[in-house]
Every structure is written in structure tokens, then in C-alpha cells.
Amino acid sequence: MNRVGHVFKELFRNLYKNPGTSLSAILSMTLLFLLFDIFWVAADTSDKFYENYLSDLKMEVFISEEYPDSSLGVIKDEIKRIDGVSSMTFISKETARKELADLVGIDLLVGYDSSNPLPQSLILTFQSDVLNSTDLSAIENRIMSQQGVSNVYYSKNWLAKAESTKNIIADIGLLLGGLILLTVLVSSANNMRLTAKTRAVGFYQMRLLGAGKLLLAMPFIIEGVFLGALSAGIGWGMIFYWKDKLQFANFEIIFPTFEEIGLYCLAAGLLGLVSGYVGIRRLLRL
């Protein structure tokens, strides 16, 4: 019990006697964590926007002009058997003409009632697990191998660019997270080292009296955990304070769940634990 009391006594003494160092550590770590928090929110928001936009992606299968209408059922049945196809809508020549007229505001095929040049087609939608370049390309090749199919169209180039952008964002997140992790570790460890140097004489005296290394290091390790978790929590507190002030009409801002934020603050505390030990380990060699 005396050891526990000593640990917390030393902890509060460190915070009380070195408020500038503690405040500097909190401000610097809060700024770094806030930067990562903003990127986290932006990445989740862009992912959600990407998923919503991708869910509207459709593939149009054009039927050859010479293919007999009596055999359309064969193509439909073959396409329905393809894994990942969730729905199919048949677009007749007349429907295609009406949609073209609605699009341009005028019927461009007046006088072509008996020889409508627009092709018949099938509009396909897909399950979410196949909405990627690799699977859709495989589906496209399988459909093109069907007799009676003249062409297949979907936003292939847009999808490839969107996936490339998504991968770049993920790579930036890993790089940014690594840099912030390293910076927080170095910054916090330096603050702990400065605090520990002011206690070097006391450390030496305690070691002469037989105090163990763990007992001496524990106040600094707990301080590191406290400052790390507190800084992460302050960062999220600032974001949620501004949350209601940021509203966009075209998309919804996606925030992590409170469970994810709790785990994030816990991880920040563990990072503080490591930085506390790194900052104090040199004095433990006395």
C-alpha cells in the first residue's frame, strides 16, 4: 500500500512541479492526434461516398441487331447464372427511344418508326462484393462470350481511377499514422527525459535506499499513459465540438463509433506507456 501511495505521490509531484513540461506534452500530442483524427474522418467519409456512388454502378449489355427476339431468353438465362448479378432490366427499342427523347428533350427518330436503329439492351446491377475492377472485368468477358451480345458498357475507367485513388488514400493514411506515431513517441519521451533529469539526485538517493527500478519508473510510465490518453481524448473532444458546425448538403460526414474512439485513446495511452519508459530508462541505469 505504501508503494502504491508513493507511486501516485510522485506522479502528482511530477505534474505539479513541472506544469510547463506537462502542458507542452499535451499540446504537442493533441495537435498530432488531431491531425490524424481529421484524416481518419476524411478517409471514412470518402469511403462512404465511394460506396454509395459505387452501389449505383450499372452495366449495359447491348444485343446484336440480327439476334432474333425469340432467343433473348437464352441470353437472359445465361446472364442470370453469373455470380454477383443482382438484377436485370430489359430495355426494348421503344423504351430506348423514349429514354433518348427524354434525355435530349426531342424525339430524334421521327420517321423511323419501322426501322428504329437503337439496339435492345439489358441493364444489370450487382452485389456489393463484385463491385470492383477485377470481378466486373471477368463478368464483362463472360458476357461478351455469349452469342448475340454486341457490346458491354460500364464506367470502367472511372472505377479504375476511383480504386487507384482509394489505394493512394490508404497508403497516405499508413504513412501519416507512422509519422505521427514516431513523432509522438519521440516528443513524449523527450518530455519525460527532461522531467526525469530534474529528479536525478532523488533517483540516486532512492536507489541507494534499495528502491526497485519498477517502483521508480512507475510514476513516469503512468504519467505517459495519462498524457497520451488525455491528448487523444482532447483531440476527439475538439472534433465533436465542431461536429454540428460542419454540415454539407451533398454528403454526410462519417465519424468513428465511440467504441473505436475508446480503443484509439487506449492505444494512445499504450503509446504513452512506451514513451514514458523510453524517457526514463537512462536514469534506471544509475
User: What average pLDDT does range 178-207 have in this prediction?
Assistant: 70
User: What average pLDDT does range 23-34 have in this prediction?
Assistant: 84
Q: What's the confidence (pLDDT) of residue 263? A: 93
Q: What's the confidence (pLDDT) of residue 248? A: 64
CA distance 33 to 89: 49
Which band of pLDDT confidence, cut at 50, 70 and 90, is reported for residue 216?
low
Beta bridge partners of 59: 124
Cβ(85)–Cβ(123) below 8 Å: no
DSSP 3-state of 258: helix
Query: Average per-residue pLDDT in the chain?
Result: 79
87 pLDDT more than 80: yes
Which of these ranges, 115-124, 166-175, 199-208, 238-247, has the smallest mean pLDDT? 199-208
The residue ranking higher by pLDDT, 9 or 34, is 34
Cβ(188)–Cβ(29) below 8 Å: yes
Query: Which are the contacts of 7, defined by CB distance < 8 A and separation ≥ 6?
Result: 215, 218, 219, 222
Closest by alpha carbon to 59, among 2, 138, 115, 6? 138
Q: Which helix (H) or strand (E) holds 65?
A: none
Q: What's the confidence (pLDDT) of residue 14? A: 58
Total length of the chain: 286
Which band of pLDDT confidence, cut at 50, 70 and 90, is reported for residue 199?
low
Q: What's the confidence (pLDDT) of residue 59? A: 92
Query: Which are the contacts of 238, defined by CB distance < 8 A and separation ≥ 6?
Result: 30, 34
31 pLDDT more than 50: yes
Q: What's the confidence (pLDDT) of residue 211? A: 58
Q: What's the confidence (pLDDT) of residue 1? A: 44
Closest by alpha carbon to 121, among 80, 63, 176, 169? 63
CA distance 33 to 176: 11
